[in-house]
Amino acid sequence: MEKINLDKYKNIKRRIEREFINLNPIQRGGVPPVESKKAIYEYWDGYSVCDYCGGRLDQVKTPSICEFLNDLSKFLDMDISRTTHGARESKFIVMHSLCKEGDYVILDENAHYTSYVAIERAKLNYAKVKNNGYSTYKIDPQNYKETIEKIEDEGGNIGLILLTHVDGNYGNLSDAEKVGKIAKKKGYPFLLNCAYTVGRMPVKGKKLKADFLACSGHKSMASSGPIGVLSMRDEFAEEILKTSKDYPVKEVEFLGCTSRGVPLISLMVSFPYVLERVKKWDEELKKTRYVVEELEKIGFKQIGIRPKEHDLIKFETPILDEIAQRDKRRGYFFYDELKKKGIGGITRGVTKEIKMSVYGLTWEQVNYVVDSIKDIVLNKI
Ligand SMILES: *Cc1c(COP(=O)(O)O)cnc(C)c1O
């Protein structure tokens, strides 16, 4: 064997979550509570949840995975739930089992790249429902009807209606119930991508007319991950959960088992914490709106639906761009200055627009973030 330098595997460290206030929207909802961190110690071996497995992950009683999945369904107002490796795998499983090659998925223009990749992997086509453009990028449910009818007129076969509940670009909350009603009326299954919503804010699947919810443990359910949830209505269970010819206890679309060990344990142990925190969603919105209000005073401009209905904030920041022209660190000045104040999670070098979230931070921390950003900007103009 050619010599391998092993030094790079020693002392792998990460400081941001311990030593900084992290504003990265993709990471704010995935921070596990202390109880979860403790449980991880007990379960960090491979296949650790398999001590008492009789062949099916979803039926394991010790630890109580089986009951957990039932509780998840109650929490989500759905019938049956399974864990997956992430929201993307949840979407792929639905597409792969319900659609035939070449079918159309109707999806919103704000959809995540993983929706497109899942469509491609499942060998499907798609048609996009346009948003209303700059600066709100809102999805009008009525445009779903038009896009569906356009594809029907062209003779395309529609297999699935997909809506991004909250998108990762603008943090816009879509009107799922209206899209769900349109899907129902037209007779197509409706998948709601809840990667940014379930676990952060209250989501009731049946109320929103969803047939499927795709959720993300590491994005929004306080889990180490990688893990996702696929929750469905009874009527689709047979199709989605079909078992193998050769191994009759194994569910084919899940390749027998999905995410297990630490990802699953952290999702389970964080569940009571997640249940409590979604009740405080109004307070999170207050924090988010406060940040927008304060930072717009210094020349930031919030993009997307106003007022904010989700914690992910996208700002246009011409003021940062202006400062960057004069600073010898160029675009890196902002990242650099934030770091000095113990704040991280803003993309390095980018000054035209920034994304951030203060989800789960205390008011004291929120105030500190706002004051720090003001301080940096006002001292530079
Ligand atoms: C983050 C994100 C995903 C991907 O979630 P995974 O659980 O990592 O697969 C999918 N959709 C949206 C809208 C997201 O923001």
pLDDT digits (tens, 9 = 90+) for 122-170: 999 999 999 999 999 999 999 999 999 999 999 999 999 999 999 999 9
Residue 324 pLDDT? 96
User: How many Cβ atoms are within 10 Å of 179's Cβ, its own excluded?
Assistant: 29
Residue 18, pLDDT above cutoff 90? no
pLDDT of 219-274, one tens digit each?
999 999 999 999 999 999 999 999 999 999 999 999 999 999 999 999 999 999 99
Q: Rounded to the nearest whole angstrom, what is the distance from the C-alpha of residue 87 to the centroid of ligand 1?
A: 5
Residue 137 pLDDT? 98
Closest ligand 1 atom to 216 CA: 7
Residue 14 pLDDT? 87
Residue 68 pLDDT? 98
Residue 121, pLDDT above cutoff 90? yes
Residue 225 pLDDT? 95
| Residues at CB less than 6 angstroms from ligand 1 | 26, 86-88, 112, 114, 164, 167-168, 193, 195-196, 216, 219, 228
d(CA 92, CA 121): 8
Nearest CA to ligand 1 atom 14: 195
Q: What is the CATH number of domain 7-31+280-378?
A: 3.90.1150.10
Closest ligand 1 atom to 89 CA: 9
User: How many Cβ atoms are within 10 Å of 244's Cβ, its own excluded?
Assistant: 12
Closest ligand 1 atom to 26 CA: 1
pLDDT of 167-181, one tens digit each?
999 999 999 999 999
Q: Rounded to the nearest whole angstrom, what is the distance from the C-alpha of residue 115 to the centroid of ligand 1?
A: 9
Q: Rounded to the nearest whole angstrom, what is the distance from the C-alpha of residue 377 to the centroid of ligand 1?
A: 32
Q: Rounded to the nearest whole angstrom, what is the distance from the C-alpha of residue 164 to the centroid of ligand 1?
A: 10
Among the four given CATH numbers 3.30.160.270, 3.40.640.10, 3.30.70.1060, 3.40.50.1980, the one describing domain 34-277: 3.40.640.10
Inter-CA distances, 206 with 191, 276, 307, Å: 11, 21, 26
Residue 305 pLDDT? 98
Residue 17, pLDDT above cutoff 90? no
> Which residues, listed in sequence order, are joined to residue 127 by a DSSP beta bridge?
106
Closest ligand 1 atom to 114 CA: 10
Residue 188 pLDDT? 98
Residue 304, pLDDT above cutoff 90? yes
Among residues 380, 341, 278, the alpha carbon closest in space to that of 21 is found at: 341
Residue 16, pLDDT above cutoff 90? no
Share of the chain above pLDDT 90, in %: 97
Residue 202 pLDDT? 98
Residue 15, pLDDT above cutoff 90? no
Nearest CA to ligand 1 atom 2: 195
For the chain, the structural domain boundaries read 7-31+280-378, 34-277
d(CA 3, CA 6): 9
Among residues 160, 172, 167, 218, the alpha carbon closest in space to that of 194 is found at: 167
Q: How many residues does the chain have?
A: 381
User: Can you tell me whether residue 266 is helix, strand or coil?
Assistant: helix
Residue 19, pLDDT above cutoff 90? no
Residue 342 pLDDT? 97
pLDDT of 80-115, one tens digit each?
999 999 999 999 999 999 999 999 999 999 999 999
pLDDT of 314-371, one tens digit each?
999 999 999 999 999 999 999 999 999 999 999 999 999 999 999 999 999 999 999 9
Q: Give Cα 376 to chain centroid, integer Å.
A: 30
Among 92, 162, 167, 196, which residue has the most ligand 1 atoms within 8 Å of its CB, making it the best to mutate? Answer: 196
Inter-CA distances, 168 with 102, 247, 302, 304, 361, Å: 27, 39, 14, 11, 19
Q: Rounded to the nearest whole angstrom, what is the distance from the C-alpha of residue 42 to the centroid of ligand 1?
A: 28
Q: Rounded to the nearest whole angstrom, what is the distance from the C-alpha of residue 154 to the centroid of ligand 1?
A: 31
Nearest CA to ligand 1 atom 15: 168
Global pTM?
0.97
Inter-CA distances, 231 with 46, 93, 102, 194, Å: 26, 11, 25, 11
Q: Rounded to the nearest whole angstrom, what is the distance from the C-alpha of residue 251 to the centroid of ligand 1?
A: 23
Model confidence at 9, in pLDDT bands (50, 70, 90)?
A: very high
Sheet hosting strand 313-316, strand order edge to edge: 301-303, 313-316, 353-356
d(CA 201, CA 36): 20
